[in-house]
Chains A and B, each alone.
Chain A
Amino acid sequence: MKILKTAAAAAVFVLAAQGAYAGATFDAVKAKGYVQCGVNTGLGGFSAPDDKGVWKGLDVDMCRAVAAAMFGDAGKFRLTPTTPQQRFTALQSGEIDILTRNTTQTLARDASLGLIGAGVNYYDGQGFIVTKKLGVKSAKELNGATVCVQPGTTTELNLADFFRANKMTFKPVVIEKMDEVVGAYASGRCDAYTTDISGLAATRATQLPNPDDHIILPEVISKEPLGPMVRQGDDQWLVLVRWALFAMIEAEELGVTSANVDEMLKSENPNIKRLLGVTPGMGKNLGVDEKWAYNIIKQVGNYGESFERNVGKGSPLKLERGVNALWTQGGLMYAWPVR
């Protein structure tokens, strides 16, 4: 039972020794030899097993990038699938080292859970999916609808806000497991299913029997900056995760890809030289090997590569770059200077 897991995680706070904690994650991960990431139970494009059982996705790549920076080997990670409800307790209790699980960064999560966001690897917003035969063209026409939703998400709250703000009523059907909630929508129990638009695209492409029978309504009802989270109290770990993500974004901006990274080692561009560790110093600052970013780019790829492969043109989701383009192309993806 889910509740037992939560209870067990909560018990950690009851019994844990006082203080034996601060600053420990970085060292513990290093000593352990792998990083433990909390991911989805299976959401196409973000983290889901492929037909060979290998977990792939944007969030899995985030986890691999941290492993590559830490150990020089993107394979040194393990995954813990979590439902929306389990994810924060799993991180708080130390069961996982990072949460890379399409998690929206919000004030309450940043400030009251003892956790902290380390960046954004996908800018999203919440939407609705309905069957075409319902004949609805806009979310504003959903008055009186029954809506399927997963609990423990920002989705559940935005849903209530949206209907309240538009003076409409709805009936929620709240089911904990993703497969079951999508099943309830597919069977017609609900008129609409709501979650992050990327999640809707994934569900339509990979879970619904006839993708063409469904449309995603045009309204985007919220801001959902999805990104990795870590525990508060170990800044070195926070910084490593943040810069693993920045390295991928910076590499795209500098035109460094997994294919040309070896060639780029010979580049004269001082930014590239610093990023790839040809000019040493950055790795030392982070407390890892100077080749940390080289290893990420070589083994995982830059942000654009990861995006296209997992959720973009090269994937069943076929999402546009949109706001997730680099800032130089009018998007929001912007890495701080590597210097």
Chain B
Amino acid sequence: MASNPMSGGQKAPARRLSWNDPDVRSVVYQIVALAAVGLIGWFLVSNTLYNLQTRNIASGFDFLSREAGFAIGEGPIPFEPSDTYARAILVGLLNTLRIAVIGIILATILGTIIGIARLSKNWLVAKLSSIYVEVVRNVPLLLQLFFWYAIITETMPGPRSAFHPLPGIFISNRGIKLPAPSDHFAFDLAGLGFLVALVLAVIVSHWARKRQDATGQPFPVWRTAIALVIGLPLLGWIIGGAPLELDVPRLQGFNFVGGATLTPEFAALLAGLVIYTAGFIAEVVRSGIQAVSHGQWEAAEALGLKRDQVLRLVILPQALRVIIPPMTSQYLNITKNSSLAVAIGYPDIVSVANTTLNQTGQAIEGILIIMAVYLTISLSISVFMNWYNKHIALVER
């Protein structure tokens, strides 16, 4: 086997296909494996189609372009019952993304605060945060969702006697009604300004880091970013003519019209997911910080760094290495747990796809759509977090 035909200046003999050749064997094995997977897949698909057909059950994805016929309670894009199933599913998907993104941001903030609080030298603060973690992690999420939903719908007054804490703001069992920017060009400009500000902030922070690396001169990145994020939208609004009219909610008949709404369903789902997941994130953060040896603190302080600088420049970068991987799985959990939405009436992808598969009778297609959506979201989160993990990994010199 080990003999090398190329040695000794001899001409290589034409290689014959032989079962004794490990390369040939492995290629053959791979082809066989591939064919087996393909065959099984083909069998499953054709068997399914056959079964559905002999049982007179409709199949295929044509239903997507048919009229949905049902209404959806809320969504970032408008939806009418005369729209298609495809658009209904898109609304569900956007609702899922909305709850997942906002949930991840808030849970990270709350979880980090509580995780750091558990390490506090203040006995009461540390104790309270450990009680929080224990309680929240040990009560099933579904129960917590019902709890928050009941709190909101049972304790809030009806729309006619809504709380009215500030002009234009109404709190009732229909949710929180807020004034919204009206349909004015100036508000579009302001939105654009906000996006530009975000991009500029990222560019500035890169530039500042480079400059500090090169010249040692620090730059007030945070203050600049905040100024941009406030200033540019304001500028857009002023250029647009600084309109003052807002779309203010008002009571008409037995409900509010106009303005923006934070519905009880969204609020309860968000509260439930954030409070529950923050308990897990707190533990991730705490263990991450504790994983950095105490000597790092002492050494950094000995260099004359201030305490917040120690945390930011020395401890957190090291802790993050420990924190990121388990954090990724918490983010995946928020996304997947958001599928409990249907229990309290938030129209997420599962709720909408479920209704769709029920009205069309096409269960397999509906389930496939749901699986594809979660798979894509989960893989995207994983890929992003893996990239981020590499990005912040300590470069060992």
Contact = CB atoms under 8 A, between A and B. Distances in A.
A187 B173 contact: yes
A267 interface: no
A171 B71 CA distance: 8
Given A88-B361, A180-B344, A187-B154, A144 B54 contact: no
B61 interface: no
Contacts of B257: 144
A177 B153 contact: no
Interface string B351-385: 10011011111011011001000000000000000
A170 B74 CA distance: 11
Interface in B47-104: 47-48, 50-52, 54-58, 69-74, 81-82
Interface string B138-154: 00000000100110011
Given A13-B52, A161-B81, A188-B158, 18 more contacts: A6-B357, A10-B367, A14-B48, A89-B363, A108-B361, A113-B56, A113-B58, A145-B254, A151-B351, A152-B358, A160-B69, A164-B81, A171-B255, A173-B345, A174-B351, A175-B344, A176-B342, A180-B344
A256 interface: no
A157 B358 contact: no
29 contacts: A2-B354, A6-B363, A10-B367, A14-B51, A15-B44, A21-B55, A88-B358, A108-B359, A112-B361, A114-B57, A145-B255, A151-B342, A152-B354, A152-B359, A157-B70, A157-B359, A161-B69, A171-B73, A171-B255, A173-B73, A174-B342, A174-B345, A176-B342, A180-B343, A180-B344, A180-B345, A184-B149, A184-B345, A233-B56
A58 interface: no
Contact of A191 (B82, B150, B255, B354): B255
A112 B339 CA distance: 28
B264 A3 contact: no
B193 interface: no
A15 B45 CA distance: 10
A94 B363 CA distance: 15
Interface string A122-149: 0000000000001010000001111000
A18 interface: yes
B271 to A, nearest CB: 16
Nearest to A192: B254
B70 A156 contact: yes
A31 interface: no
Contacts of A159: 70-71
B265 A173 contact: yes
A243 B257 CA distance: 53
B347 interface: yes
Contacts of A156: 70, 355, 359
B55 A92 contact: yes
Contacts of B343: 175-177, 180
Contact of A3 (B52, B158, B370): B370
B18 interface: no
Contact of A14 (B47, B70, B254, B358): B47
A183 B343 CA distance: 12
A14 B71 contact: no
B73 A144 contact: no
Contact of A144 (B50, B150, B254, B351): B254
A144 B255 contact: yes
Contacts of B69: 157, 160-161
Interface in B113-132: none
Contacts of B315: none
A204 interface: no
Interface in B28-54: 44, 47-48, 50-52, 54
Interface centre among A2, A14, A92 (most CB of B within 10 A): A14
B286 interface: no
A54 interface: no
Contacts of A183: 150
Contacts of B71: 159-160, 163, 170-172
Interface in B325-348: 339, 342-345, 347
B20 interface: no
A46 B174 CA distance: 32
A233 B53 CA distance: 12
A113 B361 contact: yes
B51 A18 contact: yes
A221 B334 CA distance: 40
B8 interface: no
B252 interface: yes
Which 4 pairs of residues, A with B, have the shortest CB-CB distance?
A152-B358, A160-B81, A114-B55, A114-B57
Contacts of A188: 153, 158, 173
Interface in A193-219: none
Nearest to B58: A112
A293 to B, nearest CB: 31
Nearest to A131: B158
Interface string A7-40: 1011001111011011000000000000000000
A52 B363 CA distance: 36
Given A3-B350, A164-B82, A188-B173, A172 B73 contact: yes
A2 B339 CA distance: 10
B338 to A, nearest CB: 13
